[in-house]
Structure 1
C-alpha cells in the first residue's frame, strides 16, 4: 500500500477503519465483572503510567537511533540514564501503590510469569519479518509487494493452526504445546537466517521458514493464554490479561527495534573479513548486507531459545499439577459432618 498509488498515509486510514469495525463487532458483548472490594481505591495510577512510558520510549529511542546518535555519545548515555532512573522509580511506585498500573504481585506466580515472558519474547521475534523482507528487497531487488508475498504462508498457517493449539491444550495441557510451538517457530526463524546462500535458495527457505513461524505461533497462542490467565485469582484476571497483552505489544516494538539496529550495525563489518570466512556464497558485493541480516535474524532465534527455557523452568506439566493436587488432597482435613 505504501508504494502504490494509495500512498503511505493509506495505512493509517485503513487502521482507523478497522478500529471502528472492531468497536462495532464488540457491540452487545456482555460484561464479565469480577467481584471487587467496595472500599478498594479506584484511582488510576497516572504517575506509574507516565514513568512507564518515559522508561520505554527512552530505551526504544536508544536502540533504534543508537547508530545515528552514537551508542556512547552524551545523548545516548543520557537516554540510558533516563531509562534506568525512571525504571527504578516505576518499580518503587508500583510496589507502594494500592492500585498499581502494573500489578507486580502477579509475577510471584511462576506459571503466569513464564507464559508472559515467553509471550513477550516470541512477539519480539516479529523483527524477523522486518529484517528478512528488507534484505530481499535490497539484495534481490524485490518490490515490497513481492517480498510481502513471502509471508503469505505465515498468515495462512496461523489461521489454520490456532484451533489446533486449542485441541493440543485440551489433550496435553499448556506446557507441551507451548514448547512445540516455540521450537517450530525457532526452526522457522533459523531457516530465514541463512543469508549466506544463493538468493533463490534463500527465498525458498524464507517461504518455508515463515510458514513454520506461523504454525509455531498457532500452536503456542491458546495454551500460553490459558497458562497465564487460569493460574491467577478471578479478581485479578483483568489485570493479568492486560499485562499479558501488553507484553505482546512491548515485545513486538522492542524486538523490531533491536533486530533493525543489529541489521544496520552488522553492515559496518569489513566485507574483506566476511569474505575470508568463505561462508557466504554467490555475490560478494553485498556480503556485509547479508551478514547484517544474519545477525539481526539470529537475535530472534536467541529470543525464542530464551522463551523455551522460561517455559521449561516455570510452566508445570500436567503430571506435576496432578501430583501437587494429590499432595494437597492427602494433607487436607476431611470435611466436617462426613
Structure 2
C-alpha cells in the first residue's frame, strides 16, 4: 500500500473525516440561524438536533468498527462517505423539522463508519514514527476541523446561508471518494463470520438514549418529575444488565476486555471527559449572540486563537511521544483546557475586556486540545492487539463523540435552566465552571490510571 501514494491517501482521509468534524460539527455554531429557518420549532428540539449526530455516532461506532475489521476498512469508509452526502442533502431541504432530525441521524451513522475505519487504514499502512505522523494528520483533520467549524459556520451563516455548509461538505466528500478509490482494502481474514451482538447494542441504545433524553429534555419534563426518575432508573438498570451480558458474550458489542489495559482505559475515559469541552464551544456561541448581540461570524472570530495554537500543539504532541512518552501530554492537556474555560467563564467582565479574556482562553483551549490529540490516539491504537484495532479505535472515538454529545447537552442545559432564574451572564459563568469540574476529573484520572510508559510500536 505504501506504493500507492500515501500523500493521496492521507489527503483523501482528511477530507473524509472533515465531513463530521468540520461540517456536521458546524451545527454547534449555527443553532440560532437554524431555529430561524424552523421558526415553529422549540429550542429544545434544535438543541437535540445539535447533539444528535454525536450521540448516534457514539452509539453505533463500536458496531461499525467491529464490522470494518471483518469486511474491510475501505468498504466501510466508502459507505460512510455516501451516507454523509445523503445526510447533507436531507438537511438542506428545510421542509419540516423531521428532515433536520433525519439528516442529523444519517450523518451520525456516516461518522460512526468513517472514524474507526480511517484510523485502521492508517494503522495498517504505516508503522512506528510514520504511523504517529499519519495519526497526527488524522488529528489535524479532526480537531483542526472542529476548530475551523466555528469560523467556517459563522462566515457561511452570516454572509451566505447556513445550508451552504453542507453543500461544500458534499463537494469535498466527492473529492475524498475520488482520492480513495484505488487503495487496496484491508481486513482481518482470520476473524470469521460477523456475529453481531444485537442484544448488547439494543441495551446500549436504550440506556444511552434514556440518559440523553433526561439531559436534553429534563428542563421541559421537569428534573424531579416521574418521567425523569424513570429515565434515570432505565439508565442504571440498563448499565448493570449491559455489563453482565457483555461479560458472558463470546462476540460482545463492546469489547470490555480491552479495558483491562490501564493505558487504554485511562486514555478512553480522559478522552471522554476532555471532549465535553465541545459543549463550552457551543455555549460560547449561544452566549455571545444572546447576551452580547454578536453575529455568528463575529463570535467565530474570537475562536481564531484556538485554531492557531491547536495546529502548532498537534505537532508538538506528536514529537513529545518519542521524547517523554504519551503520559505527560495526556495529563497536561486537561489543565490547559481548564485554564482556557476559566477565562471564558469571566462573564462579569465588560464587553471588550471579556472578549480579550476569551481570546486568551481560546489560546489555552487550543494548546490543550492539540497537545492531547496525537498521544491519545496513538496510545489507544498502539497498545491494542492488531486484530482489534478497528474496535479499539471505535471505542476511543466513541468516547470523543459521546463526550462531545453529553458535553453539549449538559453545558447548554445548565445554561438554559439557570438563565430562567439568574442573569444570562451568571448562567453562562456557572455552565463554563461545570465543564471545568469535568476537566479536573479528567486530569485526576489521567494522572492516576495511565502508566508512565504506555506506548509501544507494533
Alignment CA distance shift 1:26-1:50 (3 Å): farther
Once the two structures are superposed, what CA deviation does each residue of 1:59-78 show, in whole Å capped at 9, x if it has no partner?
11210111111112232223
Greater mean deviation of Cα atoms: 10-19 or 65-74: 10-19
Larger radius of gyration: 1
Check whether the contact 1:34–1:234 (CA below 8 A) recurs between aligned residues.
Answer: no
Once the two structures are superposed, what CA deviation does each residue of 1:129-161 show, in whole Å capped at 9, x if it has no partner?
111221111221111111111112212222222
| Residue among 151, 169, 178 paired with 2:303 | 151
Task: Determine the structure 1 residue equivalent to 2:388.
Answer: 236
Check whether the contact 2:275–2:407 (CA below 8 A) recurs between aligned residues.
Answer: yes
Once the two structures are superposed, what CA deviation does each residue of 1:245-278 show, in whole Å capped at 9, x if it has no partner?
1111100000110000111122234x5xxxxxxx
Alignment CA distance shift 1:27-1:299 (3 Å): farther
Task: Determine the structure 2 residue equivalent to 1:128.
Answer: 280
Task: Determine the structure 2 residue equivalent to 1:83.
Answer: 235
Task: Determine the structure 2 residue equivalent to 1:249.
Answer: 401
Check whether the contact 2:344–2:432 (CA below 8 A) recurs between aligned residues.
Answer: yes
Task: Determine the structure 1 residue equivalent to 2:190.
Answer: 36
Task: Return the offset for 1:25.
Answer: 3.7
Once the two structures are superposed, what CA deviation does each residue of 1:107-134 show, in whole Å capped at 9, x if it has no partner?
1111100000111111111111111221
Relative to its length, the structure with more helix (as a share) is: 2
Task: Return the offset for 1:47.
Answer: 2.3
Write the distance in 1 (CA, Å) between the matches of 2:169 and 2:209: 22
Alignment CA distance shift 1:27-1:42 (3 Å): same
SS at 1:125 equivalent: helix
| Residue among 180, 192, 199 paired with 1:26 | 180
Which structure 1 residue ranges, 5 or more long, are not aligned?
272-287, 323-338
Task: Determine the structure 1 residue equivalent to 2:415.
Answer: 263
Check whether the contact 2:382–2:455 (CA below 8 A) recurs between aligned residues.
Answer: no
Check whether the contact 2:158–2:296 (CA below 8 A) recurs between aligned residues.
Answer: no
Task: Return the offset for 1:180.
Answer: 2.2
Once the two structures are superposed, what CA deviation does each residue of 1:42-97 show, in whole Å capped at 9, x if it has no partner?
21222222222222222112101111111122322232233233333322332222
Task: Determine the structure 1 residue equivalent to 2:451.
Answer: 316
Which structure 2 residue ranges, 5 or more long, are not aligned?
1-29, 34-156
Alignment CA distance shift 1:267-1:37 (3 Å): closer
Alignment CA distance shift 1:227-1:5 (3 Å): closer
Task: Determine the structure 1 residue equivalent to 2:441.
Answer: 306
Is 1:290–2:421 an aligned residue pair?
Answer: no
| Matches for 1:132-281 after TM superposition, within 5 Å | 132-269=284-421, 271=422
Alignment CA distance shift 1:321-1:83 (3 Å): closer
**TM-score normalised to the size of structure 1?**
0.82
Alignment CA distance shift 1:183-1:263 (3 Å): same
Task: Determine the structure 2 residue equivalent to 1:61.
Answer: 213
Alignment CA distance shift 1:13-1:198 (3 Å): same
Write the distance in 2 (CA, Å) between the matches of 1:54 and 1:8: 32
Superposed CA RMSD in Å reads: 2.3
Check whether the contact 1:154–1:213 (CA below 8 A) recurs between aligned residues.
Answer: yes
